[in-house]
Structures are given as structure tokens and as C-alpha cells.
Structure 1
């Protein structure tokens, strides 16, 4: 499912226009991005939680040349599914 299909499904289920559903999806994504950018966490009970994690600098290897390279430290987003989402997928 891509974004336009998600917007269409939300519009149908919520009985709103596609434009309103699109704005709602964009607002959700922007709110999650903003919170994670500040190092926060977003919990959606029953669905899951979004958080950030620090990844330390490490040594890697270029697979084509075998040359050792240094990979910089970074902050990455994480998603942990909630119990209700896990149960829905596994049923």
C-alpha cells in the first residue's frame, strides 16, 4: 500500500474527503518526524511506538575493494510494534 492508497482508504473509512485525509496523513507524519528530530518518542497505544536510537561509529569494509572504511556515528529512527498490531498480523 502506498500513500495515495492509504489516503483513499482513510477517506472512505472516516467518511471525509481525500484532501482532508491527505492533510491528516501529512500532519501525522510531520508530527512524528518533529518529535523524533527532538529525540522524543511517539507512542500509539495498540499500534506501536516510534523512537530514536544512537548508532556508534564503527569500522566497515567496502565489499568491492575490501578496503577498511570508517562509518560515522548516527541517530536512527526505530519502530516497535504494539501487541494489538502483532496479534492482527499473526491472526
Structure 2
């Protein structure tokens, strides 16, 4: 599913026009991004938790040419699904 399909689904479920559904989705996504930038944890009941994790810098070697280089500290996003979400996925037999 891509963003436009998600907008269509929101519009259908909430009886909104497509533009209003797109604004709603954009607002939600912008709020999530802002909270992650502030390094805040986002907990959505029955869905899961999103949080920022800082990765340490490390020296890595390119296996093709053996050149070693340093990759500095960086952030990544971690998602931990809720038990309820995992149960729903597993009961449907989907991966």
C-alpha cells in the first residue's frame, strides 16, 4: 500500500473527501516526524512503539576493495509491535 492508497482508505472509512483525508494523514505523519526529531517515544496502543536509537560510529571495510572508512554516529528508528498487533498478524497466518 502506498500513500495515495492509504488516503483513499481513510477517505472511505471516515466519509471524507480525498483532500481532507490527505490533510489528515499529512498532519499525523508530520506530528510523528516532529516527535522523533525531538527524540520522544511514540506509543500507540494496540499498534506499537516508535523511538529513535543512536548508533555508534564505527570503522567499516569495503569487501570489494578493502578500503576502510569511518561511519559517524547516526540515528535510526526502531519499531516494537504491540502484543495485540502480533497476535492479529499471527492468527491470520500472514508474515
> Following TM superposition, by how much is the alpha carbon of 1:63 offset from its aligned partner in structure 2, in angstroms?
2.9
Q: What is the TM-score of this pair, normalised by structure 2?
A: 0.89
Q: What is the TM-score of this pair, normalised by structure 1?
A: 0.93
User: Which runs of no fewer than 5 residues in structure 2 stay unpaired?
Assistant: none
Per-residue Cα deviation, 1:63-90 (whole angstroms, up to 9, x for no partner): 3212111111112111111122111211
Aligned to 1:69: 69
Query: What number of residue pairs does the alignment pair up?
Result: 91
CA RMSD of aligned residues (A): 1.0
Give every structure 1 segment of 4 or more consecutive aligned residues whose post-TM-superposition deviation is greater than 3 Å: none
1: distance between equivalents of 2:86 and 2:21? 25
The DSSP-based 3-state class of the residue aligned with 2:12 is: helix
> Following TM superposition, by how much is the alpha carbon of 1:46 offset from its aligned partner in structure 2, in angstroms?
0.4
